[in-house]
Structure 1
Amino acid sequence: MTILKMILEIKGVVTIKAVIMAGGKGSRLRPLTCDLPKPMVPILNKPTIEYSIELLKKYDIRDIAVTMAYMPSVIIDYFDDGSEFDVNLKYFIEETPLGTGGSVKNADDFLDETFIVISGDALTDINIKEAVAFHRRKKSKATLVLKKESIPLEYGVIITDEDGRIIRFLEKPSWGEVFSDTINTGIYILEPEVLDYFKKGDNFDFSKDLFPRLLKDGIPMYGYVTKDYWNDIGDLNTYKEAQFHFLDGQIDLEIDNKEVNTGIWIEEGTKLGDNITITPPVYIGRNCVINDDTQLGPYAVIGSNCVIDTGATVKRSVVWKNTNIGRNSHCRGTIICNNVLIKDRINALEGSSIGAGTVISNESVIKPNIKIWPDKKIGESIVVNQNLVWGTKASKTIFGNRDISGDINIDITPEFSSRLGSAFASNLQENAILVVSSDHSNSSRVIRNSLITGILSTGKGVINLKDIPMPLNRYAIKHYEADGGIHVRNDYYNENRIHIELLDENGANLDRNKERKIENLFNREDFERCNASKMKSIMDIENFFSFYIKNGTKRLDDISAIKRKNPKLLISSSCKNILDLTIQFLESIGCQVECDYSVNKYDSVDKYLKYISKQVVKNKADMGIIFSQNGENLILVDERGRIIDKEMYTVLSALILLKIGTSKRICVPYTSPKIIESMAKEYEVDVVRSKTSAAHIMNEILSNVDNENDMFLQYILNFDGILASGKIIDFLVQNSVSMGELVDELPDFYFVEKEIKCDWEDKGRVIKEILVEHKNKDIELFEGIKINNEKGWALILPDSERPVFKVYAEGFSEEYAKELSTVFSQKVEDLLGK
């Protein structure tokens, strides 16, 4: 460091350069960004990026590179060389996308000293002087500015040690991977040499590519946790909130306007009529006309050159410049872009947004969360209840842990389903074919048909299996070599609830990356559409179950032996359709089948299991089998009435695989008992552990099993209860053992599972505090936090779909397993109590 720089820093001057990343398209901010790059979206009548420039200038950082990709001329035309804003701007434009790191590397010639990278489309008042001092005090080569966030799923999570040194990165984690509540703000202080890992023109990302390499190579890299304001303005809601935070005084940045009264800012040239009600905070730009009897605020932001006519109200809304709002029109929680004409008696409701140049005629209603693209004309007395056209939705995850679910005609409507079908199909290659099916409920059929409509509108093909269980859809995808599938089912416990599962070309549930792509297409309504000549016919398949049975029986080794043994089975399911199909299959391979239909009489699973256990013994059945509503999972009852469920079934199916002897690797969920490893060691078989979601387990089976027969066997034992029941019977008969004798062979293990309710925002904090407390213990961070010792283990896992923690424990004895469960459950409850 030069003597001059040292003197300047002693005086509080930060002597570094800056890079403002301004290449964002802002797809989630559409229609605001249809004709405007995201950094130029106004906050209190001024482009967002201008606040970044002013923040840098506040700390005497005036040499600034601006990296751009989308509509760069809009930014250049506004700022020119920066002299009008008392800074020196140099522009670097990407011809092709280079990623966050590649865009900064593109400015390599400019970066000859320590520099800060800041986003042009985020709003922050971070104390740069303190952040730079931290960077230099730690002798860091890369310092990431971090911020605490209670629900960090949409951000990159950073884990640091007690000295602030970064030890791990997680990009947009699931709840099972949330080991910290400190997120990456995208503000970095870097030394130029860290960019030497890549060449100019390379496409690379800071978080995914550069920082993990620095971490691997042991380069000093630290996280500076700021308490200052930061908002990445990721969607329409956060865009509004940022302005309201500004008006509330939560942001330490200048408001370029005169505060005429507490919480009321009005620029020069604005004329106010009579009997106006202004409830602070309110911001009004210059040269506006606010006519008589209007109501503004709280939280109203009005751009320059606007007219608000007599009797109109604007509350919790943002209105851009050159916009007219007519007589007795009401804007509540809406965003209105430039040059919009809203005529008389119009209602724009919460979450709506109206693109530039749009004209809305008298007495129309814009329903909540509706997006209207620029330059649309809406006639009189129109209720706009769908996006016009190519609407985007504020970021929302529509997938749960394994499916999309909601109430029929409220969350899951025919319109929603058609859009979902279009989004899924648009993500596939040309001439793709999807297998579509549902259970036999009328509500599921309605949604199935709507999904088919959406798929066909993109020019993709549909194989309609109609009313079949879920396992048959997966089977059909492989048989027909389709590109994916969709199954719809009604929830047994709530007849108004619908579940929609999307499957890939292997019949497995989609991984999270594919889900995100579909969510993005769905939210943007960025669908493919075809003309009539490319629209395909539906291929209707009748009685696919007969084919399924025929091919499934070919997988059994000795049907004649089953017929000679003629095992007696008692079967049950909450779904009559599953029972009817299973009877056909089991009787075709030679079983005596009795059905129990009394499950509907019981208000708890435990009570029913006690009942069915007694019935198996009373009827002298060889085995009881309870099939899940979707036909995928089993609960077994041996001839002595013992229940084989959950982890017991996982251990039992692992034993069957080991005894069959064709598997070199078996795949089990991460939460399964470790006794499986001990069993597998005796057979010289490897155990592959998967994350707990259905998609992860399926994909582990598909990618970690060597041959097709072995893959089929592991798959059906986990996800096809109908064929699994046949294979288990086949195995028992071939080996001349009863289910009870097989259960007797299982080694003793002691396993406890508990569930603890929590608030969503507490999950990240609790996991981080447990991690910090146990950082010197033997822990695993594969999914949740697993704490190991020589006597057992405990796993604390936040649920992905519900506001609960799950605590799993396994010990060398029943008492110790219970003790572990109690200790860590109490730990979670105590932290939640804090």
Structure 2
Amino acid sequence: MKAIVLAGGFGTRIQPLTNSVPKPMLPILNRPMMEHIIIKLRDELGITEIGVLLYFKPDIIKEHFKDGKDLGVNIQYFLPDDDYGTAGAVAFAREFLDETFIIVSGDLVTDFDFKKIKKFHEKKQSQLTITLTPVENPLQFGVVIANEEDRIEKFLEKPSWGEVFSDTINTGIYIIEPQVLDLIPFKQNYDFAKDLFPKMMKEDIPLWGCPQKGYWRDVGNPESYRDVYKDIMLGDIKLPFKGEASSLDKGTIYCEEGITLNKKIRVEGTVVLGKNVSIDEGVTLKNCVIGDNTKVSKHSEVIDTVLWHDVKLGVKVKLNNSVICNGNIIKDESKASHGVIMAENCLVNKKVSFEKDIIMWPDKVVEASSVISSNIIWGNKYKSSIFEDGSVVGRTNIELSCQMTTKLAEAFGSILPKGCNIYISRDYHPSTFMLKRAFVGGILSTGVNIVDPRNVPSNVMRHALSSKEDMAAGVHFRQSVFDPTETEIIFYTSEGLPVDSKVAQSIERVFFRENFRRVPYTDIGTVVDDFTLSDEYIEAIQNSFDKSLFQASEIKVAADIMNGSTSDIYPRIINELGIENIILNAHKSEKIKSADIEKTQTTMQNIVRAMNLDCGFLIYPNGHKLQVVDGTGRLIYDYKLLIAVLQLLDMTTDRKLKVLLPAWAPDFVSYENIEITMDKLENLKAKELKEYDLIADSDGHFAFSEFGLNRDSIYASFKILELLQKSGKELSKIVRDIKDFVYKGENIPCPDTLKGKMMRKFLEDGKGKQTSNVDGVKIWMNDDEWILMVPDQHNEYLNLYVQAEDEKSAGKIFYSYQDKIEKWISE
């Protein structure tokens, strides 16, 4: 048997630890992670012929391992000329792989019994065996379901929480017969999970899953790197230590040669020391690993900490739960009592104090007596990823500083074609003005040109994007309506849609690697103002409606602009269309708070009721969300507004309409002329969305494809008025006639580590019932009643949605599953 060790990853999520070394070379007990894998392959399976697939910083790996003779193996290196994916890279070793081979990632830490995996493979006479194991958080891995015979039936690579259907995952450890290589095209991007496995399943070639229990950790981020060391010290996994063991004080110390070790030190737990380490008197060492040529000065404390090579600690330095990379100098009396991760070549001057879990990027200098309360380079929200659903959200001037925003712009500009044009717009708030200015400089440095419409709502900019062919992308800055301390930066494609997860990951990869495109001064981008976007948008809406329809009616409405960016637009449109109106809060103000929204709703209800208006609209400050008050002065719940709009469409259309809704939208009411599709709304392309007449949800968001594919509360409000005029119905009567039922959503706390388990338990509980896992897991109790569980993408809770005939039935469904979830969590 031969082996392939995958060692080509960029290590983006574990930055800044991989700033100067590839991830397989991160030290575990003073050996590169990959070395532990090679030793395990050699000792357990007797493998001596090992191929190493390289890509990112290959010379560092080659320089360390050379030909492998020091480890008693023969290593051959394979370096693809491009990123061809996991399977595509293995195809480069096709001639080497002339017998059964095992594939293992070089960035794993595991104690799986490789002999048992091999025996399983041989017993099943398998062509390809995937090693499976349950994990707490399956998001970064391929989720797998195998039948009772261990044949794999379902596979999904790197799902969102809403798609997770099990906590059993693909560990990336495969045993493969050489004929499988014939299924992999050469010099094409081809992935095991996304391409090869689906192809084999489609051709009915059995994929076998070998279940393994034991220790397995993909060291994907700085926190998991620290956790490996905690697990080693707790004895959860046993790995070979370098050096000779001896008892000292209350612990065991492993020492290599050339160590100056003062006997007046305190030792507790397990301590591992590399070559030429110097430990002065009075030092306390507990459960720590110290690399070569490192010096720890008098009376310092190194507890639950990893020091890499060439680190120098001054007198009375205190480190706890920390990772200190190569070449760092930490001077006297500095302390990190609750954790710091410090990339290489930083200088920390005297008496610096680090608060909890600070991350420092390389080559930073910290002035004496500083108190470091936030990460140095980017904010503490961005430990593993920056984007949330096409947006970057953070506290203004803290997580989203000018420095952070400029880097983000440089990363975004670097993935765009040089010389292309993009829109950058903002709302009226001073924070968005500041951050947009920082962003502009970063974009220009990459040779991308900016068209600046200044202060416009995002839906105005998105409408222009979708209608002009010479624009490559758009970016909009706005203050959060629900948390005024936060700014949102939303990135849009040339079609006016939020960027999908693949584009977001490409931006993050450039951001973390700082691999920015810097053009010569002759190619620096330009900025051109364009103040026509609002006029074009207003004209487009006005041309979408028959003015005579409104002018012939006696409809009277109120609209609350909520002091937002639409204040220059909405009054012009409603007056031009000839609709009698009252406009509230039409001046721009950054002082609106989330607490004011309830007061705004109450005011609108009172005005509609007192003045006998037909309805009232609440246009949220950024123009993306709509709420409506009917003629009786009642605020229409968002989900009932969706049903009312669907019923208006149903009674006024002369053709079959197609509507796209999320899986959690209510479906209690049926429609004669509307075909509804329930699906995920994220990552869909414009071509797919154009198939639908309406894309909506039950949170007040509507996109009518006849006008555009993005949420637009301005257009939606006039469309509702048009539908009311065509139907001849009063909105209050339509809402009143909606069949009674209960639809509600609740959050239940759940750690991220148990979300995969909850998805699996829900699926198991739904056996024998109608179920769906389009987004989360939905279980029907009968034809009309269901419960849907979707793990939240960004917070530690589960979103539960219930649809039922009445409150009693809804309560019975909800509380029964709440009890089940609490029981499953406690198991």
Say whether the fold is shared (TM-score over 0.5). Answer: yes
- Tell me the residue number matched to 2:749: 757
The CA deviation at 1:819 is 4.8
Q: Would you say 1:126 and 2:112 are equivalent positions? A: yes
Q: Tell me, yes or no, if the aligned pair for 1:268 and 1:286 is still in contact at 8 Å.
A: yes
CA deviation profile, 1:173-224 (whole Å, cap 9, x unmatched): 1111121122222111233333332255554221111112222333332333
Aligned pair partner of 2:86 in 100, 123, 141: 100
CA deviation profile, 1:281-304 (whole Å, cap 9, x unmatched): 3211133222344x3533432223
- Tell me the residue number matched to 1:828: 821
Amino acid aligned to 1:149: V
Q: 1: distance between equivalents of 2:634 and 2:191?
A: 54
Q: 2: distance between equivalents of 1:697 and 1:604?
A: 36
The CA deviation at 1:568 is 0.7
- Within 5 Å, give how 1:455-534 maps onto structure 2: 455-481=443-469, 482-534=471-523
Amino acid aligned to 2:801: Y
Q: Would you say 1:213 and 2:202 are equivalent positions? A: no
Change (3 A) 1:395 1:183: farther
Q: Tell me, yes or no, if the aligned pair for 1:391 and 1:525 is still in contact at 8 Å.
A: no
The CA deviation at 1:549 is 1.7
- Within 5 Å, give how 1:599-748 maps onto structure 2: 612-613=604-605, 615-641=607-633, 643-658=635-650, 659-661=652-654, 665-674=658-667, 678-679=670-671, 682-683=672-673, 686-693=675-682, 696=684, 700-702=688-690, 713=705, 719-740=711-732, 742-743=734-735
Identity %: 30
SS in 2 for 1:787: strand
Q: Tell me, yes or no, if the aligned pair for 2:497 and 2:710 is still in contact at 8 Å.
A: no
Q: 1: distance between equivalents of 2:768 and 2:408?
A: 47
Q: Tell me, yes or no, if the aligned pair for 1:286 and 1:305 is still in contact at 8 Å.
A: yes
Deviates more, 1:105-114 or 1:277-286: 105-114
Q: Would you say 1:51 and 2:36 are equivalent positions? A: yes
Q: 1: distance between equivalents of 2:819 and 2:602?
A: 30
Aligned pair partner of 2:127 in 135, 138, 141: 141
Q: Would you say 1:273 and 2:273 are equivalent positions? A: no
Change (3 A) 1:276 1:822: closer
- Tell me the residue number matched to 2:153: 167
Aligned pair partner of 1:64 in 49, 58, 63: 49
The CA deviation at 1:614 is 5.4
- Tell me the residue number matched to 2:234: 248
- Tell me the residue number matched to 1:808: 801
Q: 2: distance between equivalents of 1:410 and 1:74?
A: 36
Change (3 A) 1:751 1:538: same
- Within 5 Å, give how 1:314-333 maps onto structure 2: 314-325=302-313
CA deviation profile, 1:553-578 (whole Å, cap 9, x unmatched): 0111x113312324210223543554
Q: 2: distance between equivalents of 1:391 and 1:567?
A: 50
Change (3 A) 1:278 1:230: same
Q: Tell me, yes or no, if the aligned pair for 1:663 and 1:705 is still in contact at 8 Å.
A: no
Q: 1: distance between equivalents of 2:387 and 2:62?
A: 40
SS in 2 for 1:489: strand
- Tell me the residue number matched to 1:8: none
Q: Tell me, yes or no, if the aligned pair for 1:289 and 1:305 is still in contact at 8 Å.
A: yes
- Tell me the residue number matched to 1:575: 563
- Tell me the residue number matched to 2:178: 192
Task: Give the gaps of 5 or more residues in structure 1.
Answer: 1-15
Change (3 A) 1:194 1:686: farther
SS in 2 for 1:51: helix
CA deviation profile, 1:83-124 (whole Å, cap 9, x unmatched): 443344444443444422233343344445443221222221
Aligned pair partner of 2:792 in 796, 799, 802: 799
- Within 5 Å, give how 1:535-554 maps onto structure 2: 535-542=524-531, 544-554=533-543
Q: Tell me, yes or no, if the aligned pair for 1:785 and 1:797 is still in contact at 8 Å.
A: yes
Change (3 A) 1:426 1:136: same
SS in 2 for 1:782: coil
Amino acid aligned to 2:162: G
Change (3 A) 1:117 1:384: farther
Deviates more, 1:500-509 or 1:38-47: 38-47
- Tell me the residue number matched to 1:451: 439
* Aligned residue pair count: 804
Change (3 A) 1:610 1:326: closer
- Tell me the residue number matched to 1:774: 766
Deviates more, 1:563-572 or 1:328-337: 328-337
- Tell me the residue number matched to 1:10: none
Q: Would you say 1:372 and 2:372 are equivalent positions? A: no
Aligned pair partner of 1:790 in 747, 763, 783: 783
Aligned pair partner of 1:431 in 419, 424, 434: 419
The CA deviation at 1:501 is 1.7
TM-score, length of structure 2 as denominator length? 0.86
Task: Give the gaps of 5 or more residues in structure 2.
Answer: 696-701
Q: Tell me, yes or no, if the aligned pair for 1:31 and 1:392 is still in contact at 8 Å.
A: no
The CA deviation at 1:714 is 5.5
- Tell me the residue number matched to 2:168: 182
- When you count helix as a share of all residues, which structure comes out higher? 1
Aligned-residue Cα RMSD (Å) equals 3.9
Q: Tell me, yes or no, if the aligned pair for 1:151 and 1:760 is still in contact at 8 Å.
A: yes
Change (3 A) 1:675 1:209: same
Amino acid aligned to 2:9: G
The CA deviation at 1:500 is 2.2
The CA deviation at 1:335 is 4.5
- Tell me the residue number matched to 2:698: none
Q: 1: distance between equivalents of 2:138 and 2:90?
A: 26
CA deviation profile, 1:457-503 (whole Å, cap 9, x unmatched): 32222222333323222123234542222222223343222222222
CA deviation profile, 1:738-766 (whole Å, cap 9, x unmatched): 33455578677654433333333332211
Q: Tell me, yes or no, if the aligned pair for 2:350 and 2:368 is still in contact at 8 Å.
A: yes
Q: 2: distance between equivalents of 1:219 and 1:130?
A: 22
Q: 2: distance between equivalents of 1:79 and 1:509?
A: 44
The CA deviation at 1:126 is 1.1
The CA deviation at 1:42 is 2.7
- Tell me the residue number matched to 1:41: 26
- Tell me the residue number matched to 2:699: none
- Tell me the residue number matched to 1:420: 408
Change (3 A) 1:605 1:829: farther
Q: Would you say 1:589 and 2:562 are equivalent positions? A: no
Q: Tell me, yes or no, if the aligned pair for 2:690 and 2:705 is still in contact at 8 Å.
A: no
The CA deviation at 1:719 is 1.2
Q: Tell me, yes or no, if the aligned pair for 1:371 and 1:393 is still in contact at 8 Å.
A: no
Q: 1: distance between equivalents of 2:174 and 2:383?
A: 25
Q: Tell me, yes or no, if the aligned pair for 2:129 and 2:209 is still in contact at 8 Å.
A: yes
Deviates more, 1:134-143 or 1:403-412: 134-143
